Structure 1
Amino acid sequence: MNDTPPLPGSTPLSRGLTRRRLIAAGGAALLALPAFRSACAQAGASDVDVAIVGGGAAGIAAARALAAAGRSYVLLEAGEKLGGRARTDTAFGHVFDLGAPSFARGVETEGLAGAAMAAKLPLADLPSGRRLFIDGHEAREGGYDAFLATLGRARRDILAASDAGKDVACASVLTAPGDWSASVAALLGPLGVGRSLAELSTVDLALRAVPADDTTSPIGIGALLEALGAGLNVQTHAPVTLITNAGRLHMLSIAGQRTQIRARAVVLAVPAPVIASGALRFNPPLPPRLVNAFRAFPAGSIEQVAFLLPGNPLRLENDETVLPKVSGAADAPPPALLRARVNGTDLHVLSFGGAPAREIAQKGESAALRLSRAFLAAAFSPQAAAAVHEVVASRWSTDPLIRGAIATAQPGQGAQRRLFTEPVQGRIFLAGEYTALDSWGTLAGAWASGEVAAAKALRLVGGGPA
């Protein structure tokens, strides 16, 4: 069941929704190995039907679709392994995700879940209850009611502004502030997309009506994506530096390689902030309106911090998500989402967004430890904070291959997201979480965008085997 209270105008909230269910705002089956080898053999030369740039969820999905269609392709990843912003690591002897830890399953035979099931990769359901805490204790029934009412009003205000053509800052249209207003603002803004509501477009946020992330994998989402990329024609350590339009072909230059790759079509599946930074050049340059669109969608900041809490002192369930009430006071600790007891272990993960996340990315574990202790002391108890002595943190905002989290529109720029769905120079098709109109900022949306981009490329080069 979708436990995300939708924006007005989308599917109504189910009457069966319990008060503990809060929002989580914020494919082709694996081919037999011979079929993959056949497609890979065709792509061994410098000429391919489709070149895919970027080995995250979107790039992997696109490559699998092209392999299934029997076309020649190559998947070029600048880093050492596939997965993009979904990366599985080991901390304190436990597996956990430094990036996206979950996704919305949707129709089980389709999308990322369908690909994982066809490949017999393990999936696990997440608890449907998102718990609210106040002063170290779960909120009473009235607290859940008040939170959901405040959340519903905020979403109605944002949608009403969008419907009226007011593409302004989301924070400026919120009415009837309540006791849970700061928590709702944090959940929709920095904890959901990595930026405050004062920096977000009403039109862009109104477009986003996605189901809650309800699925994870015991092996980690990053490891899951790597497994789905096994057997594909992949080049790692292959940063593309220049894409040149040569008429009916595009030429791709790779750092450290003399031989260029010639492709009839390109699926560009690198993060939006990487394109906006100019790290990847185009000849001729990208159209000015597309360049302006990338600049109008700066990346948010979301960072993960992992630590141990032996003995379950917070008395939380495995893999459940907890949102402690946000104070709103200027001197209050930063808000965060807590994922408790990852895979039934003593490992816990905090998600920080906005300014605290940027501080973690810049200063590393020292800042992450200080912020985590401050959060735990305020949300639960000083004893919980004192139990944390060491942390492991992500630093996505300073990673040159990622450069941040979700790409979100500035006020006044929300309508420009549709530009990312259009072909570039006739043969370049954009893919990634930022190109999904109603599921932007999600792992499921990124995977679906790769499949869509591959379908467009196949229509251009021909859908049958080469």
Structure 2
Amino acid sequence: MKGLPLDIGCGWLHSAERNPLIAIARENDFKLVEGRTAWQQQWRDLGFPAADRIAAFDAWKTLTKRLRETPPQSDCAADSLEPNGRWNAFCQSLSGYLNGVDLEGLSAEDFTRYDIAASDSNWRVREGYGKLLASSLPQVPLYLSCPVRRVAITANGVELYTDGGHVKARAAIVTVSTAVLASEVIAFDPQADDHIQAAARLPLGLADKLFFELHGEHGLEAETHLLGNPDDTKTGSYYIRPLGRPLVEGFFGGSGAFSLESGGLLDAFAYGLEQLSSLLGSRIRGHLRPLAASSWRHTDYILGSYSHALPGQAAERQTLARPIEGRIFFAGEGTCETDFSTAHGAWESGRRAAGEFLDLRH
């Protein structure tokens, strides 16, 4: 947008104090933005006064503590909700943002592993997370629009059958999403039934972004935030003027994101406008222009956002990460036991898989 980066996907360097991409950013002179996020704020207390926010976040903290200390036998995170709790809808919306799924579909064990490992240090990079990741790539040949249809182990390594021909190599690292792997659009020889089954038990949740461009004398302050409706599990979370830019970044997760994608782009922007105008007044409509949106569930060869374990299936991340005959290796955020759903988790999983291959060579 007007020369400014727009991260449709990952935008935050989570757990910054141990995020390996921080060092890469510094080595390449990217401008890192440290400090607190605005997520727990509500600009001018509109629609969500301070006392309610404290109570709502306390309910979330109580829920996560219960998941850690007295997890439900079912391993279903929703079973730890307070029956008819005042802030259950708020907790469901937070699960949507964090996990891409409502609590009914979430493994308590899996979420707790992430929650314990994660920190509150969330940084950004002014040039854009996507640009940072692109800059880190080595100078190797990249073939785009060349999907792999089959991966076969041979006497000397592996052979990949692609839409552009065959590729032979000593080994392959499979990094597709769990949804793509579970769809069996890629065939394996020998069969990878355990990995495909594990991927199905680690489905992709859904989180989508919706961007509005701001113009005119709108009066909105930079680095502020509004939650659309704390009583609605499908509500959007709106980051206002991130890094001072003329934008509102809407974020939807779980059932909210599924609802938006099902309704289509026009309905999605209409819903965002309705939530923002209900808080800011109808005049704000004249200062907001729909700009861009993601639709990850409908994006070919991705089919969602980030993985979560179904109740009782947290151990499947280990299964998914297991190599096949020292020739086919697996990486991606879905293979991470603690940093799934993050770019740095995917990054570290790639290094782990490459290390496994190198270890087997010696």
Structure 2 match to 1:100? 10
Matched, 1:169 2:76: yes
For 1:191, what is the secondary structure of its paired residue? helix
For 2:109, what is the secondary structure of its paired residue? helix
Task: Give the deviation of 1:362 after TM superposition.
Answer: 4.6
Matched, 1:398 2:298: yes
Contact kept in structure 1, 2:216 and 2:287, CA below 8 Å: no
d(CA) in 1 for partners of 2:190, 2:182: 16
For 2:62, what is the secondary structure of its paired residue? helix
Structure 2 match to 1:439? 339
Contact kept in structure 2, 1:105 and 1:113, CA below 8 Å: no
Amino acid aligned to 1:356: G
Matches within 5 A, 1:323-362: 323-328=227-232, 334-362=234-262
Matches within 5 A, 1:305-316: 305-310=210-215, 313=218, 315-316=220-221
d(CA) in 1 for partners of 2:264, 2:131: 24
> Between Structure 1 and Structure 2, which shows a larger proportion of helix residues?
2
For 1:96, what is the secondary structure of its paired residue? coil
Matched, 1:263 2:173: no
Task: Give the deviation of 1:282 after TM superposition.
Answer: 0.7
d(CA) in 1 for partners of 2:76, 2:122: 30
Contact kept in structure 2, 1:362 and 1:395, CA below 8 Å: no
Structure 2 match to 1:81? none
d(CA) in 2 for partners of 1:199, 1:374: 29
d(CA) in 1 for partners of 2:128, 2:43: 30
Structure 2 match to 1:388? 288
Structure 2 match to 1:459? 359
Amino acid aligned to 1:354: G
Matches within 5 A, 1:77-92: 90=1
Contact kept in structure 2, 1:204 and 1:408, CA below 8 Å: yes
Task: Give the deviation of 1:125 after TM superposition.
Answer: 2.2
Task: Give the deviation of 1:301 after TM superposition.
Answer: 1.3
Contact kept in structure 2, 1:98 and 1:304, CA below 8 Å: yes
Task: Give the deviation of 1:196 after TM superposition.
Answer: 0.7
Task: Give the deviation of 1:132 after TM superposition.
Answer: 3.2
Matched, 1:300 2:209: no
TM-score, normalised relative to structure 1: 0.70
For 2:211, what is the secondary structure of its paired residue? strand
Deviation track 1:271-329 (CA, whole Å, cap 9, x = no partner) reads: 1111111121111210x3322211112211111111123357463333x5543551148
How many pairs are equivalent?
360
Runs of 5+ consecutive residues of structure 2 not aligned to the other structure? none
Change (3 A) 1:285 1:100: same
Contact kept in structure 2, 1:150 and 1:180, CA below 8 Å: yes
Contact kept in structure 1, 2:157 and 2:169, CA below 8 Å: yes
Matched, 1:119 2:19: no
Task: Give the deviation of 1:385 after TM superposition.
Answer: 4.2
Change (3 A) 1:160 1:105: closer
User: Kindly, what percent of the aligned residue pairs are identical?
Assistant: 23
Contact kept in structure 1, 2:241 and 2:248, CA below 8 Å: yes
Change (3 A) 1:119 1:391: closer
Match of 1:202 among 108, 117, 123: 108
For 1:352, what is the secondary structure of its paired residue? strand
Matched, 1:159 2:64: no
Deviation track 1:173-232 (CA, whole Å, cap 9, x = no partner) reads: 212665433222211x21212111111111221221222462222221112211222623
Structure 2 match to 1:239? 147
For 1:408, what is the secondary structure of its paired residue? coil
For 2:126, what is the secondary structure of its paired residue? coil
Structure 2 match to 1:186? 93
Amino acid aligned to 1:289: D
Structure 1 match to 2:196? 291
TM-score, normalised relative to structure 2: 0.89
d(CA) in 1 for partners of 2:278, 2:240: 17
Structure 1 match to 2:268? 368
Change (3 A) 1:360 1:335: closer
Runs of 5+ consecutive residues of structure 1 not aligned to the other structure? 1-89
